Structure 1
Amino acid sequence: MRPRRGARRPPADVGGRAGPRDGDGAGAVIPRPLHAHPADGRFVLDEGTALHADPGFERAARWLRGVLGAATGFALPPGPGGIELRHDGRMGEEEYRLAVRADRITIEAGGPAGAFYGAQTLRQLLPADAFRAGRTTAGPWTVSAVTIEDRPRFAWRGVLIDVARRFLPKNELLRYIDLLAMHKLNVLHLHLTDDQGWRLEIRRYPLLVDVGGWRTESPVGSVVHGTYDGRPHGGYYTQDDIRELVAYAADRYVTIVPEIDLPGHAQAAIAAYPELGNLAEPLPVRTEWGVGENTLNVADDTIAFFQAVLDEVMELFPGEYVCVGGDEAPKGQWRDSVEAKERMRELGLRDEDELQSWLIGQFTEYLLARGRKPYGWDEILEGGPPRGTTVAAWRGSFGAVTAARLGHDVVVCPFTALYLDFRQSADPAEPVPIGSVTTLRDVYEVEPVPPGLTPEEAERIIGAQANLWTEHIDSPRLLDYMAFPRLAAFAEIVWGPRERDFVDFEDRLRAHERRLDAVGVEYRPATGPRPWQSRPDAPGRPRSRAEVDEEVAAWTANIVARYGPGPG
Structure 2
Amino acid sequence: MTTTAPVPHPRELTPGQGTLQLDITSTLDANSEAVATANWLRRELGAATGLPLTAPQSGDAPTIELTVDASLGEPSEGYRLTVTPDGVRILGTDPAGVFYGAQTLRQLLPASSFRQAPVHGTEKLELAAVDIADSPRFRWRGVMLDVARHFLPKREILRYIDLLAMHKLNVLHLHLTDDQGWRVEIQRYPKLTEVSSWRRESQVGASQPPTFDDRPHGGYYTQDDIREIVAYAAQRHITVVPEVDVPGHSQAAIAAYPELGSGATLEVATQWGIIPEVLNVSDATLDFYRGVFTELMDLFPSPYICVGGDECPKDQWRASPEAQERIRAEGLADEEELQSWFIRQLDDFLTAHGRRLLGWDEILQGGLAPGATVLSWRGTSGGIDAARAGHDVIMCPVETSYLDYRQSDDPQEPIPVGPRLSLEDVYTAETVPGELSAREAEHVLGGQVNIWSEHLDSARRVDYMAFPRVSAFAESVWMRGQRSYQEFLPRLTEHLRRLDALGVEYRPRSGPHPWQQRPGVAGRS
- For the superposition of Structure 1 and Structure 2, which TM-score range results when normalised by the shorter chain? over 0.9
Question: What pairs with 1:187-198 in structure 2 (closer than 5 Å)?
Answer: 187-198=171-182
Distance 2:82 2:9 in 1: 16
Q: For the Cα contact (< 8 Å) 1:28–1:512, is it kept in 2?
A: no
Q: For the Cα contact (< 8 Å) 1:268–1:286, is it kept in 2?
A: yes
Distance 2:481 2:280 in 1: 45
Determine the structure 2 residue equivalent to 1:487: 470
1:477 matched to 2:454? The reply is no
Distance 1:122 1:210, change over 3 A: same
| Alignment counterpart, residue 179 of structure 1, candidates 140, 148, 163 | 163
- What secondary structure sits across from 2:205 in the alignment? coil
For each residue in 1:110-148, what CA deviation from the matched residue of structure 2 results, as whole angstroms up to 9, or x when unmatched?
Answer: 100000000000000000000000011243311110000
Q: For the Cα contact (< 8 Å) 1:29–1:121, is it kept in 2?
A: yes
| Alignment counterpart, residue 229 of structure 2, candidates 219, 223, 245 | 245
| Alignment counterpart, residue 88 of structure 1, candidates 64, 69, 79 | 69
User: 1:382, CA displacement in angstroms?
Assistant: 1.1
Determine the structure 1 residue equivalent to 2:315: 332
Distance 1:481 1:288 in 2: 23
- What secondary structure sits across from 2:33 in the alignment? coil
| Alignment counterpart, residue 23 of structure 2, candidates 46, 53, 59 | 46
Determine the structure 2 residue equivalent to 1:219: 203
Determine the structure 1 residue equivalent to 2:90: 107
1:386 matched to 2:363? The reply is no
| Alignment counterpart, residue 337 of structure 2, candidates 350, 354, 359 | 354
Q: TM-score, length-normalised on structure 2?
A: 0.98
- What secondary structure sits across from 2:136 in the alignment? coil
Distance 1:319 1:380 in 2: 20
Q: For the Cα contact (< 8 Å) 1:264–1:329, is it kept in 2?
A: yes
Determine the structure 2 residue equivalent to 1:140: 124
Code of the residue aligned with 2:411 in structure 1: it is: P
1:415 matched to 2:398? The reply is yes
| Alignment counterpart, residue 487 of structure 2, candidates 504, 509, 525 | 504
For each residue in 1:277-317, what CA deviation from the matched residue of structure 2 results, as whole angstroms up to 9, or x when unmatched?
Answer: 02x32111000101100100000000000000000000000
Determine the structure 1 residue equivalent to 2:134: 150
User: 1:103, CA displacement in angstroms?
Assistant: 0.8
| Alignment counterpart, residue 131 of structure 1, candidates 114, 118, 127 | 114
Code of the residue aligned with 2:99 in structure 1: it is: F
Distance 2:467 2:69 in 1: 34
Determine the structure 1 residue equivalent to 2:416: 433
Determine the structure 2 residue equivalent to 1:297: 280
Q: For the Cα contact (< 8 Å) 2:33–2:67, is it kept in 1?
A: no
Distance 2:127 2:206 in 1: 48
Distance 1:410 1:315 in 2: 25
Q: For the Cα contact (< 8 Å) 2:207–2:522, is it kept in 1?
A: no
- What secondary structure sits across from 2:142 in the alignment? strand
User: 1:93, CA displacement in angstroms?
Assistant: 2.8
Determine the structure 2 residue equivalent to 1:449: 432
Distance 1:223 1:311, change over 3 A: farther
Determine the structure 1 residue equivalent to 2:44: 67
Structure 1 segments (4+ residues) deviating >4 Å: none
| Alignment counterpart, residue 518 of structure 1, candidates 478, 483, 501 | 501
Code of the residue aligned with 1:180 in structure 2: it is: L
Q: For the Cα contact (< 8 Å) 2:139–2:445, is it kept in 1?
A: yes
Distance 2:300 2:116 in 1: 29
CA RMSD of aligned residues (A): 0.9
Q: TM-score, length-normalised on structure 1?
A: 0.90
- What secondary structure sits across from 1:434 in the alignment? coil
User: 1:225, CA displacement in angstroms?
Assistant: 4.6
Q: For the Cα contact (< 8 Å) 1:215–1:232, is it kept in 2?
A: yes
Q: How many residues in Structure 1 have an aligned counterpart in Structure 2?
A: 518
Q: For the Cα contact (< 8 Å) 1:92–1:111, is it kept in 2?
A: no
User: 1:454, CA displacement in angstroms?
Assistant: 1.5
| Alignment counterpart, residue 81 of structure 2, candidates 73, 90, 98 | 98
For each residue in 1:301-356, what CA deviation from the matched residue of structure 2 results, as whole angstroms up to 9, or x when unmatched?
Answer: 00000000000000000111100000000000000000000000001100111000
User: 1:455, CA displacement in angstroms?
Assistant: 1.2
Determine the structure 1 residue equivalent to 2:12: 35
User: 1:226, CA displacement in angstroms?
Assistant: 1.6
Distance 1:531 1:59, change over 3 A: same
- What secondary structure sits across from 1:383 in the alignment? coil
Q: For the Cα contact (< 8 Å) 2:404–2:453, is it kept in 1?
A: yes
For each residue in 1:161-196, what CA deviation from the matched residue of structure 2 results, as whole angstroms up to 9, or x when unmatched?
Answer: 000000000000000000000000000000000000
- What secondary structure sits across from 2:88 in the alignment? strand
Code of the residue aligned with 1:229 in structure 2: it is: D
Q: For the Cα contact (< 8 Å) 1:274–1:282, is it kept in 2?
A: yes
Q: For the Cα contact (< 8 Å) 1:49–1:76, is it kept in 2?
A: yes
User: 1:223, CA displacement in angstroms?
Assistant: 4.4
| Alignment counterpart, residue 324 of structure 2, candidates 327, 336, 341 | 341
Determine the structure 1 residue equivalent to 2:190: 206
Code of the residue aligned with 1:401 in structure 2: it is: I
Question: What pairs with 1:113-124 in structure 2 (closer than 5 Å)?
Answer: 113-124=96-107
Query: Identity across aligned pairs (percent)?
Result: 57
- What secondary structure sits across from 1:116 in the alignment? helix
Code of the residue aligned with 1:336 in structure 2: it is: A
Distance 1:437 1:225 in 2: 24
Determine the structure 2 residue equivalent to 1:363: 346
Q: For the Cα contact (< 8 Å) 1:216–1:233, is it kept in 2?
A: yes
For each residue in 1:353-410, what CA deviation from the matched residue of structure 2 results, as whole angstroms up to 9, or x when unmatched?
Answer: 1000000111111001100111000001111110111100001111111010011100
| Alignment counterpart, residue 276 of structure 1, candidates 260, 284, 290 | 260
Q: For the Cα contact (< 8 Å) 2:358–2:374, is it kept in 1?
A: yes
User: 1:425, CA displacement in angstroms?
Assistant: 0.3
Distance 1:414 1:371 in 2: 28
Code of the residue aligned with 1:252 in structure 2: it is: R
For each residue in 1:479-529, what CA deviation from the matched residue of structure 2 results, as whole angstroms up to 9, or x when unmatched?
Answer: 101000000000001101241000010010000000000000011111000
Code of the residue aligned with 2:66 in structure 1: it is: L
Code of the residue aligned with 2:42 in structure 1: it is: R
- What secondary structure sits across from 2:16 in the alignment? strand
User: 1:540, CA displacement in angstroms?
Assistant: 1.0
Q: For the Cα contact (< 8 Å) 2:197–2:220, is it kept in 1?
A: yes
- What secondary structure sits across from 1:57 in the alignment? helix
Flag structure 1 segments of 5+ consecutive residues without an equivalent: 1-19, 544-568
User: 1:78, CA displacement in angstroms?
Assistant: 1.6
